[in-house]
Structure 1
Amino acid sequence: MSFVQNNILLVIIFVASGVLLIWELFSRSSGKEIGTLLAVQLINYKDAVVLDVREESEYKSGHIPNSLHLPADEIKDRMGELEKFKDRPIVVIYKSGVRSGAASTILHKNGFSLIHILAGGIDTWKNEDLPIVKK
């Protein structure tokens, strides 16, 4: 008990880091993170749907060609638009990891099983000099 009292800050940091680690594991549990190479292969050879879950302004500033824009907070209400893609791989594109995890969880709960999350999101895609469309 005296160790905890003498090292309370260390204990708090340890517990907080554990909570953050568990949060990260659960927030992405419904989708598998993939790199740009696998994403391109899924798009080109497996007819994957690129689902961009960023906000409208982020999407307009640059997005992957032929991607479907559906902000993360609208997925539940607009699930009908995605039903026809249930048997195809889905590659989720994001700006921050929280939205991609939430989006993949919703997709998983609605029967989608081939869910992939682009590691690093749109920034990784841009850094790899892959095609971007601006509208």
Structure 2
Amino acid sequence: MQQLIEFSTNHLILVLALLAVGGLLVHNLLQGNKGAVDPTGATVMINHQDAVVLDVRPAADFHKGHIINAINIPMNGFANQLGSLEKHKDQPVIVSCRSGAQSAGACQTLRKAGFEQAFNLRGGILAWQSANLPITRKK
């Protein structure tokens, strides 16, 4: 025990870094998947809860293939276009992007704007396609 105290006082920065990383890991475990849904869960929400799918990829990527009936609002200028989603505020909104990273940020923006049921599609459109779920293309 004495050695642990001595090490901690001699290497304060390392100990603080360890505590910070540990705290972040615990936070991620507790909050990490809150508000996220996998492709199977998303299909259940779409079919049974009338969920709206919002795709935040650039328009060119959206036109190459997207979830059927998805609404495309690209991330650049996303916050300025939230007004067009007001009519869906009381519905579940599933946000997708290519891999799930950008859509997580969009979900946070939606929640701050009062969309309590904003869900990130875990793995994005890549996970959707890997699950062999249907996509459509704009012509």
TM-score by length of 1: 0.78
Say which one has the larger Rg. Answer: 2
Q: Which runs of 5+ in 1 are unaligned?
A: none
Aligned amino acid, residue 87 of structure 2: K
Does residue 1:85 correspond to 2:104, yes or no? Answer: no
Alignment length, in residue pairs?
134
TM-score by length of 2: 0.76
Aligned amino acid, residue 50 of structure 2: D
Q: Which runs of 4+ in 1 moved over 2 A?
A: 1-4, 13-25
Aligned mate of 2:123, from 120, 123, 127: 120
Deviation sequence 1:81-134 (CA, Å, 0-9, x none) = 000000000001012444212211111111100111111110000001111112
Residues 60 and 45 of structure 1: is their aligned pair in 2 closer, same or farther, counting only changes over 3 Å? same
Residues 102 and 57 of structure 1: is their aligned pair in 2 closer, same or farther, counting only changes over 3 Å? same
Residues 103 and 37 of structure 1: is their aligned pair in 2 closer, same or farther, counting only changes over 3 Å? same
Structure-2 residue corresponding to 1:133: 136
Residues 15 and 96 of structure 1: is their aligned pair in 2 closer, same or farther, counting only changes over 3 Å? farther
The answer to whether the Cα contact below 8 Å between 2:56 and 2:74 also exists between their aligned partners in 1 is yes
Q: Which runs of 5+ in 2 are unaligned?
A: none
Residues 58 and 23 of structure 1: is their aligned pair in 2 closer, same or farther, counting only changes over 3 Å? farther
Q: Percent same amino acid at aligned positions?
A: 39
The answer to whether the Cα contact below 8 Å between 1:53 and 1:72 also exists between their aligned partners in 2 is yes
CA-based RMSD: 3.1
Does residue 1:70 correspond to 2:70, yes or no? Answer: no
Deviation sequence 1:38-84 (CA, Å, 0-9, x none) = 10011011110000011122212210010000012222111110000
